[in-house]
Structure 1
Amino acid sequence: MAAAFDELECLEALEDLDAADQQDIPRRCITDRMNLFHSLHDEEFIKRFRLSKTTALNLLDKLQIQGTRDGRGSPVPPHLQLLITLRWMATGSFQLTIADSFDVSQQLVSKCTAKIVRAIASLLQDYVKRPSREHFSNIRNNYFEMSGFPGVLGAVDCTHVPIQSPGGARAEKFRCRKGFFSLNVQAACGPNLEFFDFVCRWPGSVHDSRIFNNSRLFFDLQHDLLEGHHLLGDPAYPLLPFLLTPVANPVGQREVRYNISHSKARNTIERAFGVLKMRFRCLTIPLKINLTTVMATICSAAVLHNMAVKYKEDLYMCNDDGAEESVNIEENIEHFVNAAGRQKRNNIINEYFS
């Protein structure tokens, strides 16, 4: 009888120990996994997430992301939510592929990307803004050294970002002239490829000139620009005193030299779009998410691009699939020429390219 009593005491003691051990064991938490900020070198980190570790941590501080849980109930820390989103933007991979690589659920990837791109897009006005007048001279001089074109403050153009059909009665408005559904995104940049104006809300069928004529940039240039300064645009834009376009049918060497110089300077916006799409491959495939999140994704890509330019982040990539196509000269809208714009263009041709 005494032996049986001792065995019961031993069993109760073992159960108490098991209960204590179970209380000490933490719940499965993704933060216990290998921290990519520590395990990857800077170059490896940039290849995967398009930002350096320092820039990503600075961005994390600005976003103030709250922790969340995936479909399995596991806590997902803010830094991992950011890395999931950056990886999705950098590769454009299926969400399930991203989920498998981070050992989270596909639902979590969908939730994280939608939340984080909106948070990053909210920084658009902080990182995409026009240069101050104090910087005009530096920008103008950089463009002149680059191309020989005087008075340039930047270049403006549009690019199509493919999307899935939004459905509904207005779906065909998003079909661009190349036959796929898209958003027509307008941007302006300076000589260092940093965007200072970004418009992302127009369907793909809308013409570049209409987007420009209805933009805040157009209004601001009309009322607040130093005399003798201007943007450069391709033949899809109207010729205005503050927006110079190439000569559609150049006659003589002066106009040919003007067009060559104009092309060299305007090339900055085409290169900027190319770098943007190389950094974030999600912009090169039809985005299978709702339209609001698509716009937030594109705007967040512009914010991250400017951060990378500002902090001189290297782009460790070896191809240029995202290079923009030049606009067909037959699509010009020279019939919208403004008399003052024509006079200004003629003066520049005669003074600088004769």
Structure 2
Amino acid sequence: MFRFSSFLAPLKQLTYFFTEKSLTTCEKKMAYVIPIACFEARISGIPLSLRKSMHLKCNTCIFNISDQSFVKFYAIDKITFKKILKVVKPYVQVSALSHPIQLAAVFRYLVTGCSELAVAHDYRVRIESSMLAKILNRFIPLLQKLLCQATISIQMSRQQMQISSKNFWEKYKLPKVVACLVGTHIGIKKPAKDCSDFLNKKGYYSLNVMLVCNDNMEIIASDATFPGSCRDSVIWNRSRARELLSVTLNGHFILANSKYSQESFVLTPYKNAEIGTYQHTFNLRHAQARNMVEQTIEVLKNRFLCLQRGLKYEPSFCCMIVNVCCALHNLCGSQNLTITDEFQFEGDDNGQRERDEIAQSL
């Protein structure tokens, strides 16, 4: 801890220097600057190499690091950061903090998952904790509005489904599969209202987030609006994604675990399949293919540690944060998908026959 007495010695020395007539004017100025500089360095406790980067209100200061370091600090590269900055800038009012610094503070929170106070004392984004809270409240809804619709799309063209189906076949030997369905829990603080609804089976408060991912580990649908106590199948049955996929897959399928029901376009594993049977072979390949979506969740949560460490906000704001992280995840590693064709699909017997045919052909 800094002691005021440690500052008295340089001051006494400074007084002595000024009383010496033999000192030149330049020497007297240096005698004043050096003790004050030492005092500032001692009280801040920041190394010299880092103190040089403290002038962070400049528009370009956060870009004065290597590309590799930039990705490490903010999860995205400089080019993508600047593109996002260009999109959000017209919607953010001018303030004492530059737009790049404010956006960097948001990304830094998402990447580290630290409390607002810890992020506020990050030497690259050195702002007050109260200011950071205001920045998050301003930017998170804006990023959700501007990024999610552009980067998360459940609609797939015929060509996109053919490519995805081909990749699933080459990797896992499962035909006509284009995506995987899964649910994952994101921890949150105890809500002020209806807290029992958010208490999941594992004993902590969470959002039960539904995700649909394609073969490129891209999130093509997400729903973070349901509390942790809600079952995966209930979320799926109420989702817009299910409604759209039921009429657009055109004979293709998505994979889901046994928590979901077998449907005409949803393939689930067989129950109690005996070893050596075609049902067991199907289950093995089904599990291997679904491992892809588990890897997607792992990458998402490792990239944005705030999803691992728990979100200390009200559920509605936590939902926005999850959506923004999913959109940024797609920007980091995937291309946007748009629909070019429309399809209609008529199913029969909840896909039992299709699943049997696929399993018997393995």
TM-score, normalising length from structure 1? Answer: 0.79
Q: CA deviation at 1:311?
A: 6.7
Matched length: 292
Paired residues of 1:177 and 1:205 also in contact (CA < 8 A): yes
Taking the TM superposition and a 5 Å limit, the aligned residue runs for 1:1-354 are 30-32=56-58, 35-37=61-63, 39-64=64-89, 65-67=91-93, 69=95, 75-101=96-122, 102-122=125-145, 123-130=147-154, 131-168=156-193, 170-227=194-251, 229-251=252-274, 252-310=276-334, 339-351=349-361, 353=362
**Alpha carbons of structure 1 residues 33 and 116: separation in structure 2 relative to 1, 3 Å:** closer
Measure the CA separation in 2 of the matches of 1:32 and 1:271: 38
Q: CA deviation at 1:191?
A: 0.9
Paired residues of 2:59 and 2:101 also in contact (CA < 8 A): no
Measure the CA separation in 1 of the matches of 2:316 and 2:152: 19
Q: CA RMSD in A?
A: 1.9
2:166 alignment partner, SS class: helix
Paired residues of 1:161 and 1:182 also in contact (CA < 8 A): yes
Q: CA deviation at 1:113?
A: 1.4
C-alpha deviations, 1:139-176, integer Å up to 9, x for none?
A: 000011110011001001010000001123x1101011
2:294 alignment partner, SS class: helix
1:185 alignment partner, SS class: strand
2:326 alignment partner, SS class: helix
TM-score, normalising length from structure 2? Answer: 0.77
Q: CA deviation at 1:34?
A: 7.2
Measure the CA separation in 2 of the matches of 1:350 and 1:310: 34
C-alpha deviations, 1:94-137, integer Å up to 9, x for none?
A: 11111112221111111111221111111211100022222111
Paired residues of 2:209 and 2:223 also in contact (CA < 8 A): yes
Amino acid at match of 2:234: R
Q: CA deviation at 1:275?
A: 0.5
Measure the CA separation in 1 of the matches of 2:56 and 2:107: 18
**Alpha carbons of structure 1 residues 311 and 346: separation in structure 2 relative to 1, 3 Å:** closer
Measure the CA separation in 2 of the matches of 1:34 and 1:143: 43
Measure the CA separation in 2 of the matches of 1:81 and 1:284: 23
Measure the CA separation in 2 of the matches of 1:139 and 1:106: 45
Q: CA deviation at 1:54?
A: 0.7
Paired residues of 1:146 and 1:264 also in contact (CA < 8 A): no
Measure the CA separation in 2 of the matches of 1:255 and 1:285: 39
Paired residues of 1:164 and 1:181 also in contact (CA < 8 A): yes
Paired residues of 1:247 and 1:255 also in contact (CA < 8 A): yes
Flag structure 2 segments of 5+ consecutive residues without an equivalent. 1-53, 337-347
1:76 alignment partner, SS class: coil
